[in-house]
Every structure is written in structure tokens, then in C-alpha cells.
Amino acid sequence: MASYKLPLKSLTFGTQVINYHLDGAFFNEIEHSEVTSGSVDVALTVTRDKEESMELAFVCKGVITVPCDRCLAPMELAVDTAYDLHVTLGDELDDSNDGVLVVPEHWHELDVAPLMRDTVLLSIPLTHSHEDIAQCDATVVAHLSGVMDDDEAAADVDPRWAALGKLKEKEN
């Protein structure tokens, strides 16, 4: 696996851009993730003006593969997201403030892999399915249609619903 360690003490002052490529191997190491593969380029802009702090700006662009919520077939999702983070040195690790990360002074490097991972994963919408049902797995869609038809047929013979239907007919 590539090194995603950012040196904290030896990083030069000023602004520099570090490029990373996140591929299938990167996403396969994430436990309990929906992402099965991907190709995401990350441009990390690091601005260091002070000895004890720096600004990190992540820009992530690419494609990830996740299962469709409707048919479970793989589908691609575009990734185009950014995340800014202020990193400062302190006594102990503190990530309770969004956008600010305090790392212990004795740390010599910061692993940015979890930051990139979270930035990409948070760009995934809560529900994701193929835009057109025709793109879904035809076998699964046919099965789902059959299940829905069976449920509708079962609802017609359920005596409780039939009794309610009779009440509605009496009103008319």
C-alpha cells in the first residue's frame, strides 16, 4: 500500500500540492464499506505558515463502484468533493471540532488515508440506484415485479381488506 503519511515536523513552509491516487486496493482495505472499487485522484494542498499548524485542503475527483440499492448490481458514482482541515499541534489528540484537528506534539507524521477515505465515503448519497430502471439487473427487477404483484394479489383476498372494501362500496 502506498504511503499516506504527511511529515509534521519536516514539512517545508509555504504551499505544496501532494497528489494521491486511490484505487481498488485502497477501498478494499476499508471495513464494512459499500465501495467495491474505485479510481479517485486526490490533490492535497498543504499550507504551512507556522511551526505548530498547517492547513490541509483535499480535492477528490473520480469514480467509485457501489451496489445499486434496487438491484444490487454494481454501479458507478462520480466523486467530486472537497474538504478543508486545520491541523495544529497540542498536548493530546482532539478531533471533536469539525474542520480542526489537534495532534500530539510528539507525533512526527499524520496519516491522511483516513481523512481521504472519510471525504470520499461522505460523498456517497444515502440512496443510490441506477438512474433508469432499465440499467438495473433485469432478473432482479423481474423478480421484484413478481413479488409486488403477488403482494397486491394477496391484499385482494385478505378478508380484512375485503370487509373494508364492502364498507366503501356501501357508501357509494
Tens digits of residue pLDDT in 2-57: 689 998 888 889 999 999 999 988 988 887 788 989 999 999 999 998 888 999 99
Backbone angles phi, psi at 73, to 5 degrees: -75, 150
Q: Are 79 and 46 in contact, with CB atoms under 8 Å apart?
A: no
Q: Residue 114 has what pLDDT?
A: 93
**Which residues are bridge partners to 81 per DSSP?**
60
For the entire predicted model, the pTM comes to 0.76
Q: Helix and strand tally (H, E) in the chain? A: 4, 7
Q: How far apart are CA 158 and CA 123, in angstroms?
A: 44
Q: How far apart are CA 64 and CA 47, in angstroms?
A: 28
Q: Residue 147 has what pLDDT?
A: 56
Average model confidence (pLDDT) for the chain?
85
Q: Are 124 and 66 in contact, with CB atoms under 8 Å apart?
A: yes
Q: How far apart are CA 89 and CA 38, in angstroms?
A: 33
Burial environment of residue 47 by CB neighbours within 10 A (0 to 12, 13 to 18, 19 or more): middle
What tens digit of pLDDT does each residue of 70-84 get?
888 899 999 999 999
Share of the chain above pLDDT 70, in %: 85
Q: Residue 20 has what pLDDT?
A: 96
Q: Where does the chain have alpha helices with state H? A: 24-28, 113-121, 138-157, 159-171
